[in-house]
Amino acid sequence: MTLAALHKNTGAQAVLGLLIGIAFGFLLQKGAVTTYEVIMGQLLLTDFTVVKVMLSAVLTGMIGLYILERKGLARRHVRAGSLGSNVIGGLIFGIGFALLGYCPGTVVGAVGQGNLDALFGGVVGLVLGAAVFSRLYPSLSRGILKKGSFRSKTLPELLHMNQATVVVLLAVFMVIVLVGLEFMGL
């Protein structure tokens, strides 16, 4: 089966989603980022596990995707953004993030390791939050979500630099941050 045919096979994709989820949940739990104390520690700036996991994932994936794209094995899925969508939505998310102490991926992982507040507060709340958004969507999508649209979709477009340069600069920056965190004992 070619990759294009696999992408269109919705049954196979539902199984792949499950398998990718299993791997992701396993890794999140092993990384301890499904733990309330670790997430709150990050938001209180006393435990940098979340940032270490995220930065090493972005660093690896950024280089991996750069290679895969050149080999024609993967393509980018980047959507346009706006101040009204990403800043306001991001800040609302942040408030919920701290009150709950988990994010949408880690909250389901926390359910898997037995956290009942993650199930009855988190998962129930997230479904209700999605219900609220689906009701607001018709008016939001014509108004605030379009306010202050970003002119560029990607960092290379924004900086007028080629992709390889941006990948190298970002990689160096992320390595410096990670080494810095270790150096400071965080």
Contacts of another protein in 155-184 (CB under 8 A): 155-158, 163, 166-167, 170, 178
Give min distance, CB of 121 to another protein, in A: 3
Q: Which of residues 27-66 bind another protein (CB under 8 A)?
A: 27-37, 40, 43-45, 49, 52-62, 64-65
Judged by DSSP in three states, 149 sits in: strand
Q: Taking Cα atoms as reference points, which of 129, 40, 16 lies closest to residue 6?
A: 16
CA 5 → CA 13, 21, 34, 69, distances in Å? 11, 21, 35, 18
User: Does residue 154 interact with another protein by CB under 8 A?
Assistant: yes
Pair of tokens at residue 16? 């792949």
Report the residue from 70, 90, 147, 175 that binds another protein according to the rule CB under 8 A.
Answer: 90
Please pick, from the candidates 138, 160, 184, 185, the single residue that binds another protein as defined by CB under 8 A.
138
Q: At closest approach, how far in Å is the CB of 166 from another protein?
A: 6
- Alpha carbons 87 and 81: distance in angstroms, whole number: 9
What are the residues facing 82 on neighbouring strands?
Answer: 149
For residues 145 and 166, what is the distance between their CA atoms, to the nearest angstrom? 28
> Does residue 82 interact with another protein by CB under 8 A?
yes
Residue 89 touches another protein, criterion: CB under 8 A? yes
* Total interface residues for another protein by CB under 8 A: 125
What does the chain come to in residues? 186
To another protein, the closest distance from the beta carbon of 94 in angstroms equals 2
